[in-house]
Each structure stands twice: as structure tokens, then as C-alpha cells.
Structure 1
Amino acid sequence: MENNKPNILLIQTDQQTAETLGIYGNPIVRTPNLERLAEKGIVFEKAFCNYPACAPSRSSMMAGRYTSTIRNHANHMLLDPLEVSLPQVLKKNGYKTALIGKNHAFMDGNQVNRYPSSQQGDKPDILHEVFDFVREAQHGHIVEGYEQDEEVRAAHQWAVDNCWSSPLGHGTNPASYKKCGTYLLGETAVNYLEQAQKEENPFFLWLSFPDPHTPYQAPEPYASMYHPDDVPLPPKDDMRNKPERQKVAHIMDAMDRADEQTIREVRAIHYGMINFIDDAIGRVVDKLKKLGILDNTFIIFTSDHGDSMGAHGLIQKHNMFYDSFTHVPFIVSWPGKVKAQRSNHLIELIDIMPTVLDVAGCDIPIGVQGKSFAPYLLGEDYEPREYVVIESGEDGEPFKLSEITKRPEHPFDESCFVWCAWREAWLGKGKSIRTHDWKLNLYTNGEGELYDLRNDPHELNNLFDSKKHEQIIIELERKLLRWSIDKEDKAPENRTVGLNYREKYASKVVTD
């Protein structure tokens, strides 16, 4: 193995807010293996996704570019095959690349390519082009290679039948934990590492757990690990002066008819799913140590976005910008290289690509919009972000309360399926700018939100219409405007001229 290039392990969960971990202040959740990583690494206290839904978040993270730049505006869109991605660059620089778990970013040969930037009608298999090894997993318990295992199929079917189609469906899966997806992915990763350490090339492994996303269910001993009575509830949001989309989602989630005990039960199962993942992570890290390669492995743990888990009268994910949707856990571990600490620096998920490439000694492609924090990790000069920007929504008018003709009658009503899976739930674009002190959310239909994060960390009091705070809004709008100008795409290169975009111009006058 090349000693000058570290192995890269990117561990990602799906739909997990930072507040679900004890290291971020949760009073009951204990994840000893993640805490072990945190004790020897850096815990970033303010890391945020760039879109509060799976595919846009994952696609932008892998491209290092904002969702509006890559034109990935909703959960049914995948990464343009012409975009340069993190595994693609690492593979070209000698890395063996692997995906174990959920994809939801790269076209896999089953989707017709409709991007105007490439050939129409083809079915590119970018997934297997950029990854040398792939073992995909779906929500529930189906993992590639185990489709014919009757016990795995039974575990998956139980999850689908009992916990998939209703807003707050949840329960204890009767299957053995060794026949459930999280365990199978952990074992696959352990086996992969056994083979990878025999290679001369370093590896990049994206270990991507589909949980604790819906369906909310877990096998024992995880399902009963937390008693609902011990589970804290978020502060109540009366939704006064809030955007109408929040009120629509509140009804379409049937949260107006959900009692506190049901919400506690769902949160307890969600926490148990997280501990299931933590145990799998522990086995993977132990394997790295046993193989003698832990010290040469750069590890990032994060999630693609959050889950409201009852906050703001909502469940799952939505076309909104509350921290419950956007604030993700973020731990970096690199034994012997990274000093253990907690950091208040603002981080975006698109920062992962340039940081990993810096650590791996690879050139960062033109057009990458993320900011490498590798200098900070290594104790070098680093200027942290002043703010983060999060985007969401498709073009169109958001759904209104007056347009609701059918809704779930109760939290376990399966007749409507879950609202956040409907395209209508994501109509209406918006952008959010968040500093340490303030958050401004702007929507194309004229709605807006302003939160004083120092005095109102739970984002309950919307100050958008407050005359007292007009200047704050103006200042944040100006920052967002400058961000929009700076974000204008530099890639792909305009090849109608013969310019080298990597070279800085020697003078202000450029001749052909």
C-alpha cells in the first residue's frame, strides 16, 4: 500500500439529525463506538447538509457542488453523468473504490438519461464505472447478494408491510438482527477490508447505511433499548407566522392527530436503529485496528440530512430549513494526524469532496464549490466559513391548505402514503443562509423566516415580519446575493475559446 496516501472511509447514515447523539447533547442516546471515534477525532458541532433530502444531498456531496449548480432539485433526480465525482477522481488517482449500502446518487444502468448535457435515451452505469466494488442496499433489509435468503426477505417484508406506508408506522421486527440490513452491511464492510488491505492501492469506502430512515423498525435487542417514557420530546411549535407549507405538512403527516406517546415510541425505535448502526461501525473500526491500518485511515462520519422526529409538528423530511432537517452529525478521525477537539466551525457536506481530495493528495477539479477544511485538520492556516447556504424545492407553487382534498386520517393510515415522498410536497424553491447567530429562509412565493439562533435555538419565533429586524434581513440578503454571484458555475469549461482555466491570468489583458 502506498504509504503517502491514506485509506478513506466515509460512513454515512440516512436521515439522522445531530441531536440524536449524546455527543451533541442528547440526554439518553449513547453510541459508544461513535463516541470512541469522537474522543480521538474532531466533532464538528455545526455541520449542515446542502439540501434536506437524500438524492440532492448525496449528489451534491459527491460532486462538491451545490444542488442548483448540478440541477438536482428533488429526490427523484440523480447526478448528471457528466459531473465529476469524488470516487471518480480518487479512482483515477490510484484508489480502489467501493460502495457498500445505499446509493441514491449515481445512475446504475436502469435509469434513462434525460440530462440535456449528454446523449439522450442511453442508460449509463456510472455507479459501476466509478466504484470497483458495489453492494447496494435498500430501505428495509434487502442487501445485494442476500436477496434469496428467506430470513432476510422475511425481515424486509415485515418492515414494508408494517412500517412503510403510514406517517408514523413503527414496530419491533421479529427477525434476528443478523438477518437485517445494518448487520449485513457491517459484515460486508469487514470482509471488504480484509481483502482491501492485501492490495497495494489505498481504498475509498463509502459505507452508506439506509437507516435510521423509514421504515421505523428494528430487531431486538435494539427495538426495546430505549423506553418511550424516557425519550425527550422537542419543544412544541404553534406554527403561528410560519410558512403555509409547514402547516400543510403538519396535516399531511397526520401529526395533528398524533399523541405524545406515539411520537415517543417512534423516537425510541429511531434511537434503537442508531445503536444498531453504532454496533456495526464498531465492528468495522475494530477490523481496521486488527488489520493494522487504522492509523492510515481517514474516517468521516456524517448523515445526508435530518429527520424532524416531531419537531415543528413534523415527521421525516420536508421542503424546509429547520435544523432538525439540516443539522447533521459530523466526526472526523485520523489517528496520529488529527488532534482530538470539538469545533464550532461551519461545515457543509459539499466540503467533503475537496477535503478528501486534499488529504489524498489529489488535484481538486475545476468547478468544485465546497471548501476544503483539510488545513484546519492538520493545524494549518484556515479561514472558516462565515455562513452556510442550504437549498430546497422544485420550481412551482407550494401546496396550499385549501388544496387538500385527501389526507391521512390518523398516524397509521396507509391510504395516502407519506407526504414527503410526493412531488407536490417539494414544489416551491427556497434558500437558507445560516450564520452562528441568525438564519434567514427565503421562498420564491414570498414567504420567509428569520430566527435569532442565540435566543431561539429551536426556531419557534419567526421574526421575518419584525420591523426591528429589518436590517438583519437586509444584511443576510446581501450575503446571499454575493453567494449567488460567486456560485455561478465555472464548469464545464466553455470550449469555444482556448483558455486554460487552471492558470491565473498574468495580466488583466487576455489575448486569444
Structure 2
Amino acid sequence: MTGRIPENVKNVITFMTDQHRIDTLGCLGNVHAHTQNIDSLAEEGCIFAKGFTPSAICTPARASMLTGQLPFKHQTLANPEWNIAYSTAIPETDWTYTQALRDHGYNVGMVGKYHCGTNLPDKFGCDDDTFWGAENPVANEQYVAWLEENELPPVKAHEFWRGKLPGNRDGHILAARLDQPEEATFERFIADRSIARLRQYAAEYKESGKPFSLDVHFFGPHLPYFLPDEWFDLIDPNDIVLPESFGDSLIAKPKVQQNYATYWSTSSFNTEEWKKLIAVYWGYVAMIDFEIGRILDAARELGLMDDTAMFFTADHGEFTGAHRLNDKGPAMYDDIYRIPFIARIPGLTHGEKRDEYVSLIDIPATIMDIAGIDPAKVEDGRSLVPLLAGEVPEDWRQNMVCEFHGLHFPIQQRMLRTDDYKLVISHESINELYDLKHDPFELNNLYTAPAFDEVRREMAAELYTQLKERGDSSFAKWMAAMTEFDIPLSNTARSDWDDVAK
């Protein structure tokens, strides 16, 4: 074990939300947020301001965290519900950090959302308290039985918010008022299951010293936002400032972005309605924070806070009106690729904030380090412990590369993001270049602007080089043929005919 981690810190609790924007948290600057419990983790931990997901889609992002591999390697690349012929199951023979912990003598549990494909977490060393799907599975028989046992009302809702599709047809439901108290919500159900598993693990830890790792994965604040009145109306819409990119024309950008805006009916709502929808989204975050507080209270009661590292993160972000879009999908804006990222290790973190680029896959590498297992077993992630100790390795990443493979349809995109610029290369149509210093909300696509020719070529060469080094050779070969930079095509994946052509 790295000497900088206190010897008593053995246990880990990882909180993960779904589709969670970074601007919803008090610790990240939202003065109207009701997130005191997540903020308390930041006060005792470290905020990584440049946390990114490897892919802004649930299944590939979560599969990357579990396997420690980039999406193009594990190839579980699309959500099973909208599969487009990709694999929908992580092979049982794949390495996972959860199985590594189990083999190392840990209790390992996962509660809540799974969504890593059709092989469930019990195949990967976990005690399985998970539920399958993209949204809260409110018809699940275990949840229904829990409601009945606790004499709580069944799921029912009213005041459905939905836009209009072409032909004036009803669009997707985005929000609704839930005719249940908070005590009956699926979020409370997940928290109760988590606390029960935590009590079991804590007892074994106190009796025999057996450490544990517990993942708590909430389905929210993924849309649709079904909330009790208390949380639906918690945030005053007058306190909402619309996203700076709310009025994005999407001109000179890939046509798929406009199509996606149509798919989600984003033009159906006026400004005041959008403010209410965003307020409801923040209310959803607040309700999840409340449940996290209940779990933290249980950890305090059990005397675990000094021995337990904690992480808070999300699989990806959400648009919620940014760029006139909703959900997530075929666009590589920071709104969906940046994620909340907090690491709390007792005795090591004390409320810091760091600006290094970090990835979701760095969390399992850090957990390996805490457990005394070589973090290099996480193939594409790195332990955060040196950064948390105030040291920056010379070879720490200076930028971030992300990937997208499609959701409802196949579409390939790769992104290189630096402090100053972002480059997005697409097979589908239009490439994108943004000057983040002068256009931080990514409104103006400068890819074809002559003044940025040199920047574009340098960014493209750097992205190509990193893709080659990673082994993402198929996309790199496309780049070499279709992107203007000073790298010859013969430097891509070679064939026997290359020598003949010389």
C-alpha cells in the first residue's frame, strides 16, 4: 500500500449518480443548491474540477469503471435498451476491480443501478442488490413488496411535462409530480438497501477486520424527474439562470444535434417552462443528497468515517436545455462529459480542489491502491493518491481524450480537450473546434476558420497520436485519411500492401 494512505483506511463507499451536471452542487458553486451532504464530502475530501467520463453514455461509462478499460477496448458500447448491434454484456472472464477486491478478502457490494449490460454484478465478485435498466424500475417486484411491507402508497403521478414531436404528437415525458412521499420513493428504497448492506459489512469489519467496498448507484437525476411535491417545488424557478448556451443556433455544427433537439422536443417549452424544468432537476439532486445524508448518518453511527474512503461521482452529465438539447447523446460538449468528482480519504484529504485532468477510470485504480493491490491492474486508469498527497507525477495527463460510439444509432466521435481548445472529430459530418478561453460554452465552431488552421492541425496531430498509442487504430486510420495534418497515411495500421505501394 502506498505509504501516504493511513493504515487504518481500508473500506470504501462509492456514490454514483446518473446524468448529473456539475453545476447542481453547492461545493461547485451553485449558491441555490441543497446539497449539504455531498458538500460535506468535499469539505473533508478533494474536488477534482476537471473530472471527465470516458464516454457520455451509461453502459460504456459504467463498464469502463468496472473493467478499468476504455470503451473501445471492453466494447460494451451502447445501452442495452437501445442496442445497435454492439455487445451488451461484459464477458465474465474480463478483469474487474470488484472481483479483484473479493479475491483480496473484501466484502464487495453493489446497490442500485447497474446498467453495465446483461451479465449482472454477481458475476464480478459483488453481493448483488442492483436493479437493471436506464430509469427507476418502479414496477420491480422487490420495490413493490417493500412499499407494501412499509404500508407506503404505490407509484402514481400527475402533471406530466412533455413536449411535442413533429405532427404535434406528444413527446417524451421529462417530469411529473409523484403522488408519494419521499419515504416511498425508489431513492429511499435504494438508500435503505444500502444501509442494510452497510450494517452487515460494518459488523464483519468490527468483528474480524474484514474490509468492504460498497457501491451505491442512484438512477437519478436521470430524466424523467418524478418527484414528490416537496422536492418538485424545492427550488424557486426565479433563481434559475438559463445555461449560457441555451440559445445555441446549432449552425455550422453536426446536423445530428438539431435532430436530437427535435427528438427531445426541446423547442416546445418557453423560457419560464425551462426554468421550472431545471428547478425540478435541481430538486431531484437535492432529494438524492438527502438520501446520501441518511447513508452517511448510518456510517457515523457505525463508527466508520475514520476508516472509510468515499468517492462521489456520476457516469456522465446532462444537457437540461444547454445547446437547446436534452438528455445526453451525439455531441461532446462539457455539459455531458464533465462529471462531479470528489475523493475523500481520511487523513489524506482536507478540503482541497485540484485542476489536473482525471477520469472516471481513476476511481477503481485509487480503490486498488487503498486495498493494497497494484493499481496498474486498472489498465487505463491511475491512482489519485499522489495528487491527493499534493504530488503531480511528471507523466500525469495534460489533456483529456474521450470517445462516443452511438446510442440510438451508430456514430463515431473522438474528442481532445485541453484548457484552451476542444477538438471533436466525427465520421458523420462536421468536425468541431472550440476556443474554450474565449468561448467556454462552446457556441462557435471554428473548425473551418482560417485563423485557427495551425491550432486545428496541432490538435488533430495530438489526438491522432494518442488514439494510436491507445490502440484505437480504426478511428486513427480514418483520421489520417480525412483530417488535414502533417502525418502520412502510411503511419496508420499497416497492411501487406503498404510496402507494395512504396
Whether the TM-score (by the shorter chain) exceeds 0.5 is yes
Q: 2:221 aligns with which of 209, 212, 232?
A: 212
Unaligned runs of 5+ in 2: 1-5, 81-87, 164-169, 473-502
Q: 2:290 aligns with which of 275, 279, 290?
A: 279
Distance 1:265 1:305, change over 3 A: same
Q: Is the 8 A contact 2:160 2:177 kept in 1?
A: no
Q: Is the 8 A contact 2:92 2:123 kept in 1?
A: no
Cα deviation for residue 289 of structure 1 reads 1.7
Q: 1:25 aligns with which of 14, 17, 29?
A: 29
The aligned counterpart of 1:131 is 126
Letter of the structure 1 residue corresponding to residue 175 of structure 2: H
SS in 2 for 1:428: strand
Moved more, 217-226 or 459-468: 217-226
Q: Does 1:465 align with 2:448?
A: yes
The aligned counterpart of 1:44 is 48
Q: Is the 8 A contact 2:129 2:193 kept in 1?
A: no
Moved more, 126-135 or 30-39: 126-135
Cα deviation for residue 159 of structure 1 reads 8.2
User: What is the distance in 2 between the residues matched to 1:162 and 1:470?
Assistant: 45
Q: Does 1:181 align with 2:186?
A: yes
The aligned counterpart of 1:242 is 253
- The TM-score with structure 2 as length reference comes to 0.83
Q: Is the 8 A contact 2:131 2:137 kept in 1?
A: no
Distance 1:160 1:432, change over 3 A: farther
Q: Does 1:448 align with 2:431?
A: yes
Deviation digits for residues 319-377 of structure 1 (CA, Å, limit 9, x no counterpart): 11101111110111122222321111111111122121112111246571112222111
Cα deviation for residue 456 of structure 1 reads 1.0
SS in 2 for 1:79: coil
Q: Does 1:391 align with 2:403?
A: yes
Q: Is the 8 A contact 2:202 2:302 kept in 1?
A: yes
Letter of the structure 1 residue corresponding to residue 402 of structure 2: I
Output aligned runs, 1:82-93, within 5 Å.
82-93=93-104
Cα deviation for residue 166 of structure 1 reads 3.7
The aligned counterpart of 1:488 is 471
Cα deviation for residue 72 of structure 1 reads 2.4
Q: Is the 8 A contact 1:59 1:78 kept in 2?
A: no
Deviation digits for residues 171-202 of structure 1 (CA, Å, limit 9, x no counterpart): 22110111101112112222222221111311
Output aligned runs, 1:247-262, within 5 Å.
247-262=258-273
Letter of the structure 1 residue corresponding to residue 122 of structure 2: L
% identity of equivalent residues: 28
Moved more, 297-306 or 186-195: 186-195
SS in 2 for 1:55: helix
Letter of the structure 1 residue corresponding to residue 136 of structure 2: G
Q: Does 1:140 align with 2:136?
A: yes
Q: Is the 8 A contact 2:53 2:316 kept in 1?
A: yes
The aligned counterpart of 2:483 is none
Distance 1:349 1:192, change over 3 A: same
Q: 2:458 aligns with which of 475, 488, 494?
A: 475
Distance 1:154 1:249, change over 3 A: farther
User: What is the distance in 2 between the residues matched to 1:378 and 1:25?
Assistant: 24
The aligned counterpart of 2:484 is none
The aligned counterpart of 1:53 is 57
Cα deviation for residue 19 of structure 1 reads 1.4
Letter of the structure 1 residue corresponding to residue 23 of structure 2: E
Output aligned runs, 1:72-471, within 5 Å.
72-76=76-80, 77-108=88-119, 126-136=121-131, 139-140=135-136, 142=138, 145-149=142-146, 155-156=154-155, 158=157, 166-199=171-204, 200=208, 201-235=210-244, 236-364=247-375, 366=377, 368-383=379-394, 384-394=396-406, 423-424=408-409, 427-471=410-454
Q: Is the 8 A contact 2:122 2:128 kept in 1?
A: no
Deviation digits for residues 287-324 of structure 1 (CA, Å, limit 9, x no counterpart): 21221111111111001011100000001111111011
Q: Is the 8 A contact 2:254 2:430 kept in 1?
A: yes
Cα deviation for residue 284 of structure 1 reads 1.2
Moved more, 59-68 or 213-222: 213-222
User: What is the distance in 2 between the residues matched to 1:243 and 1:153?
Assistant: 48
Q: Is the 8 A contact 1:160 1:215 kept in 2?
A: no
Q: Does 1:6 align with 2:10?
A: yes
User: What is the distance in 2 between the residues matched to 1:197 and 1:450?
Assistant: 50
Q: Is the 8 A contact 1:14 1:209 kept in 2?
A: yes
User: What is the distance in 2 between the residues matched to 1:482 and 1:161?
Assistant: 48
User: What is the distance in 1 between the residues matched to 2:147 and 2:310?
Assistant: 34
Supply the RMSD in Å over aligned alpha carbons: 2.5
Letter of the structure 2 residue corresponding to residue 14 of structure 1: D
Distance 1:155 1:307, change over 3 A: farther
Kindly tell me the number of residue pairs found equivalent between the two proteins: 444
Moved more, 266-275 or 161-170: 161-170
- The TM-score with structure 1 as length reference comes to 0.81
Cα deviation for residue 22 of structure 1 reads 2.3
Letter of the structure 2 residue corresponding to residue 450 of structure 1: L
Cα deviation for residue 47 of structure 1 reads 0.5
Letter of the structure 1 residue corresponding to residue 12 of structure 2: I
User: What is the distance in 2 between the residues matched to 1:367 and 1:355?
Assistant: 9
Cα deviation for residue 137 of structure 1 reads 6.4
User: What is the distance in 2 between the residues matched to 1:317 and 1:155?
Assistant: 30
The aligned counterpart of 1:496 is none
Moved more, 20-29 or 293-302: 20-29
Distance 1:159 1:15, change over 3 A: farther
SS in 2 for 1:391: strand
Cα deviation for residue 106 of structure 1 reads 4.9
Distance 1:364 1:36, change over 3 A: closer
Cα deviation for residue 245 of structure 1 reads 0.9
User: What is the distance in 1 between the residues matched to 2:429 and 2:125?
Assistant: 41
Letter of the structure 1 residue corresponding to residue 143 of structure 2: Y
User: What is the distance in 2 between the residues matched to 1:34 and 1:150?
Assistant: 27
Cα deviation for residue 256 of structure 1 reads 2.5
The aligned counterpart of 1:404 is none
Moved more, 145-154 or 441-450: 145-154
Moved more, 288-297 or 363-372: 363-372
Deviation digits for residues 430-488 of structure 1 (CA, Å, limit 9, x no counterpart): 00111111110000134211111111111111111111111111111122122112212
